[in-house]
Structure 1
Amino acid sequence: MSLAPPAAHGGPDALGAPAHDFSTNANALGPCPMALLAIARADASRYPDPASTRLKVALADFHGVAPERLLLLASASEGIQRFSAWAARTAGACVWLPPHHYGDLSRAAQAWGLARTPEAGRARLLWACEPSSPLGQAEAGLVERLAGLRVEQALVLDQAYAPLRLSGAPSLEGAALDRVWRLVSPNKALGLTGVRGAYAIAPLAARQAVAELEALAPSWPLGAHAEAMLMTWAAPDTQRWLADSLDTLRDWKARQIALCESLGWTVLPSEANYFVARLPAPRDTDALPALRRERGVKLRDAASFGLPGHVRLGVRSPEDQAALRAAWPRGRGGDNSPR
């Protein structure tokens, strides 16, 4: 079996943290002050409660579910590996992936020997993400796949970007959500991607599956700082801060779309705090490394998502947008004259 290609991610790299980082989807208004304070106060001198009893109760109350439905994860990426390992225990299991998806999904499938299938009805494990990654759109066909879901199948809905939805509405609500696994990773919404910690909400009547997935976890998947972040996530003042930040992000997104269009880029529809844009010429992505090195502006090349010639941009502040306008090479589409 051939090895998976190296993981592609946004954010800091060998050059350090970008001065103007459009390459991740973290909340540009972060870090959330309440979460940051809680992390600073976390007691890292002791082991956390291995069962995370208080945290499970707080998150269950926040979501209105029973604590037994909470599965704690070291991160969303660790959850992807764990769900893939769990599905692979079924002989001949296959996985279904959306046409454009986060690269860790295919890497985990390959690592655990899960063959990919284009037929959702054949898959033991199905993945979805809404708003989708990288496009930030509704997940096409999600309602239909849920309608055809059999009891032996597991559909995992990645809701990493649901708290950062700026328009539109989710495809699944109410009782429909009780039929899927919900993967929740609040660090993006809180602007704290350096703190790793996530959780999943199990479907109803999935007690055995929860036990099997917990058996695959290492001891203490959450450290003290991750527990502090997740505990703060369920607090009312944190949710108020998040709601207020969305208003600002909507304004910044409109400005950023106008900027990209002025550069001659074609912006694709998005409901989230990020979007994909097609560059005027496919080889325009060749300019991205120099942009990073020389001007400190980093965009996410979307080729790893199956979209060559496109970039994904997280919504950033007007100051970052001005840096992008000044940095984009003159003559590469649109009017790049100083303003």
Structure 2
Amino acid sequence: MPFNLYHEDHGGLDPAELRSLGLSSGKMLDFSVNSNPFGPSPRVLEAIRSVDVSKYPDRHCGELSTRLADANTVQEDDILPGNGTAELIWLIAMSFIKPGDPVLILGPTFGEYSRAARALGAEVIEIRAQPPRFLPELDLLLDKIQATRPRLVFFCNPNNPTGCLLSEGEIHQIKQVCSDETILVLDEAYRAFYGQGFFGPFNGRNTIVLRSMTKDFALAGIRLGYALADRGVLQSMRNLQPAWSVNAVAQAAGLAVLDDLSYYERSLIDLHQEQERFFSALAATTGQPVYSSTHFCVVQTPEEAGIIRKRLLERQIQVRDCASFGLPDHIRLSSQKPDTNTRLLNELRQIFHL
């Protein structure tokens, strides 16, 4: 079967683009990524420096799996570490999608769900929430699930890029209407940023919960995440996962994170306090309310988002152009440290003429 592949834009600095503009990544302020801006714990950095990279990593991630299972109060067979949740999304698609299968996605959202599903020949159905609040039409979503009986349902909670949050009751309603043939994929990459804690068990026989350790623990550069699900569901994914998928540096960093959770708890308290100040100032600067349950949000722009992004990039500031989300007149911003946020606000005041 030929793969239906295409390029998908994401946040983060592009060194080739910066070189073409004569810009330095070292001076760039990056609001385009949704990671913890306070960075990794010193223990994590120490653990990374101590890794013997001449040796193969544990291909089963045994110690990390045991520690993560304990943290989430699940059995070790119910957890699968991966090379970031992006790898796990592709493993899900390869494990469960056949050509022609319907796959339902609650959008606008992270592009890898659709990209992986289309690559495997799925018929992708997107239920799109509308600006400015981006609240999903739950009744429409429930009706569509019952009508199409999709093989997979993907949604991110809180959602990327909008920050919209579905309640536990709404998630329960979605699970209730899923048939036995439907697997619900709940991406909780940002759960810690709205006060739900870093860990917790999964609920539901046909549910896969994805957790990214690159966002809350500031490990984007080494790629680490995990899936929670019944062992039978995860076994199909294990069978397709490449050997040594999670490298030795990532495993060491993950273990060090678990030894220093108090550092990350403090950093998220500081981030939440700054987020409230930043969003209040952002609303005053743009003339738009901020509707988000987490530390990032989308803002409608007075011109095409790509033009605004380039203008800010020339001022050593990167934001996320949301055109790839189907929002060509929106940018996504993620709260950073106070001084960095103030710099962005000053630039936005000129753009919005307020």
**Scaled by the length of structure 1, what TM-score is found?**
0.87
TM superposition shift of 1:225: 0.8
CA deviations over 1:271-323 (Å, ceiling 9, x no partner): 112111223x243651211210x211111112222223111111111221222
Query: Residue 249 of structure 1 aligns to which amino acid in structure 2?
Result: L
Q: Distance in 1 between matches of 2:122 and 2:171?
A: 21
Aligned counterpart in structure 1 of residue 113 of structure 2, from 95, 100, 105: 105
TM superposition shift of 1:134: 1.0
TM superposition shift of 1:175: 7.0
Maintained 8 Å contact 1:128/1:142: no
TM superposition shift of 1:139: 3.1
Q: Distance in 2 between matches of 1:23 and 1:250?
A: 18
User: Is 1:289 the equivalent of 2:310?
Assistant: yes
Query: Residue 193 of structure 1 aligns to which amino acid in structure 2?
Result: A
Maintained 8 Å contact 1:69/1:201: yes
The answer for the alignment partner of 2:352 in structure 1 is 333
Relative distance call for 1:302 and 1:154 in structure 2 (3 A) is: same
TM superposition shift of 1:234: 2.7
Relative distance call for 1:284 and 1:148 in structure 2 (3 A) is: closer
Query: Residue 174 of structure 2 aligns to which amino acid in structure 1?
Result: R
Query: Residue 224 of structure 1 aligns to which amino acid in structure 2?
Result: A
Aligned counterpart in structure 1 of residue 65 of structure 2, from 56, 68, 82: 56
Aligned counterpart in structure 2 of residue 197 of structure 1, from 200, 214, 224: 224
**Scaled by the length of structure 2, what TM-score is found?**
0.84
Query: Residue 197 of structure 1 aligns to which amino acid in structure 2?
Result: L
Q: Distance in 2 between matches of 1:47 and 1:59?
A: 21
Q: Distance in 1 between matches of 2:316 and 2:244?
A: 37
Maintained 8 Å contact 1:87/1:93: no
TM superposition shift of 1:96: 0.9
Query: Residue 200 of structure 1 aligns to which amino acid in structure 2?
Result: A
Aligned counterpart in structure 1 of residue 124 of structure 2, from 79, 100, 116: 116
Equivalent residues in 2 for 1:1-339 (5 A)?
4-13=5-14, 14=16, 15=18, 17=25, 19-88=28-97, 90=98, 92-117=100-125, 119-121=144-146, 122-139=149-166, 141-166=170-195, 176=203, 180-202=207-229, 206-235=230-259, 238-279=260-301, 281-283=302-304, 285-292=306-313, 294-328=314-348, 330=350, 332-335=351-354
Q: Distance in 1 between matches of 2:11 and 2:99?
A: 35
CA deviations over 1:96-115 (Å, ceiling 9, x no partner): 10121101111111111111
Relative distance call for 1:178 and 1:247 in structure 2 (3 A) is: farther
TM superposition shift of 1:116: 1.2
Q: Distance in 2 between matches of 1:34 and 1:120?
A: 45
| CA root-mean-square deviation | 2.3
TM superposition shift of 1:95: 0.9
TM superposition shift of 1:150: 2.4
Q: Distance in 2 between matches of 1:30 and 1:251?
A: 17
Sequence identity of aligned pairs in percent? 28
Query: Residue 110 of structure 1 aligns to which amino acid in structure 2?
Result: R
- Equivalent residues, number: 322
Maintained 8 Å contact 1:48/1:223: yes
Maintained 8 Å contact 1:267/1:275: no
Maintained 8 Å contact 2:283/2:290: no
Gaps of 5+ in 1: none
Relative distance call for 1:329 and 1:284 in structure 2 (3 A) is: farther
Maintained 8 Å contact 1:135/1:268: no
Q: Distance in 1 between matches of 2:73 and 2:254?
A: 16
Gaps of 5+ in 2: 19-23, 127-143
CA deviations over 1:207-247 (Å, ceiling 9, x no partner): 33222111111111111011112222333xx2211111122
Between stretches 184-193 and 32-41, larger displacement belongs to: 32-41
Q: Distance in 2 between matches of 1:4 and 1:284?
A: 25
Q: Distance in 2 between matches of 1:276 and 1:8?
A: 16
